[in-house]
Amino acid sequence: MTKKHSYQLFKNSEIKINILYKIILFLVIFLPFTYPITAQQKTDTIVKDSIIKLRQPIKIRLGFDVGKYVWAKLNQSESYDYYIDANFYKLYYLILSYGYEKHFTDNNLLNYHTIGSYYKIGMMYNLYDNWLDMDNDIDIGINYAFAHFDYLLHSYRINQPGAIYIPEPIQVEQSFNNNTAQWLELYTQIQVETLKHVYLGYNIGLKYLINYSDIDNFTVTYIPGFFNRNTYSRFGFGMQYFISYRLTF
């Protein structure tokens, strides 16, 4: 190998080393800046995916008590009961109800109308684990209720135990206004989606009368929303049949 040839090999090796050195220097300087961008993109993707997976749809259901309406019509009375429920956390629902009643009572002693409104607020929990595209409920719940109402006494009979003939009614047309009552309700209910967003259901509830207006010379036997009051106990029982429509956001 000649001296000139050796020098040429050394020169080529030096050029290659310089090129390799520049490539390494470029990677050392700029590679760290590319990592945060990639990591941030991955983090953003994870966060967005998590938000999509964690978001629960908001469901609002509007309902009407069909059973009470029909029952009232069959008994010369009026009854309208509306409610709205909305899920605020997973399977927990907030419930608001409003009702109006004009109830006619005619028994052996009293003939009167009860006219008034009631309001309920409560919470329920869905125990049913739906699968596939099902959207049904098996709920347990509790309500606080308040009623404001008037009595219009048309006539009454004097109670005469052992009497052979039923005494004639005494006409009075007397009003007892601005009466109130409060009670609690514990209930369980079933709601089934029969058509798209349309539900049919019923519930059974146990009620406890907290307090009510005490009227002199008049026995309170009916309270709007509470139904018939047991004169021997503060507990009551109720059942509802309703239809509802659900909105989803």
pLDDT at 45 over 80: no
Report d(CA 101, CA 117) in Å as an integer. 6
Band the pLDDT of 172: cuts 50, 70, 90: very high
pLDDT at 212 over 70: yes
Report d(CA 101, CA 175) in Å as an integer. 16
13: helix, coil or strand?
helix
Band the pLDDT of 12: cuts 50, 70, 90: low
Measuring CA to CA, how many Å separate 244 from each of 12, 44, 104, 133, 181? 87, 41, 27, 18, 27
**Burial of 127 per CB tally in 10 Å (0-12, 13-18, 19+):** exposed
- pLDDT > 90 in the chain, percent: 56
